[in-house]
Amino acid sequence: MNETELAAFEVRIQERLAELADHSASEKDAQAIVELDQQAIGRLSRMDALQNQAMAKAQQANRDIEARRLQAALVRIQEGEFGYCEDCGEEIPKGRLNLDFAATKCVSCASG
């Protein structure tokens, strides 16, 4: 993979990290503690609020995992290891990297 392609992947990874940060900031309220004041909301509304909170926390956990994987991909770019399978050392196809910037294995190693 040439320097231009690596730079393009780096830009796309940075953009995705910025998107994840924006989503995390906008979803902060959805993860807030649910009020248990029975006078304020009914039982079903509280259950719905708790379910929404749990889903927001799960989505945040998924965003955190993706962000860590993308940060690791940036490190691999800096170290010259991006785009190479961590198991066999072969080059990971660009199509696979376009689908998952943080892929660390080629198709054959990932499937077997």
**pLDDT of 41:** 58
**pLDDT of 7:** 96
**Residue 102 reports pLDDT greater than 90:** yes
State pTM to two decimals.
0.80
83: left (phi over 0), alpha (psi -120 to 50) or beta: left
Kindly report the average pLDDT of the chain as a whole number.
Answer: 88
Where exactly are the structural domains of the chain? 3-82
- Could you give the count of Cα atoms lying within 13 Å of 32 in the half-sphere of its Cβ? 9
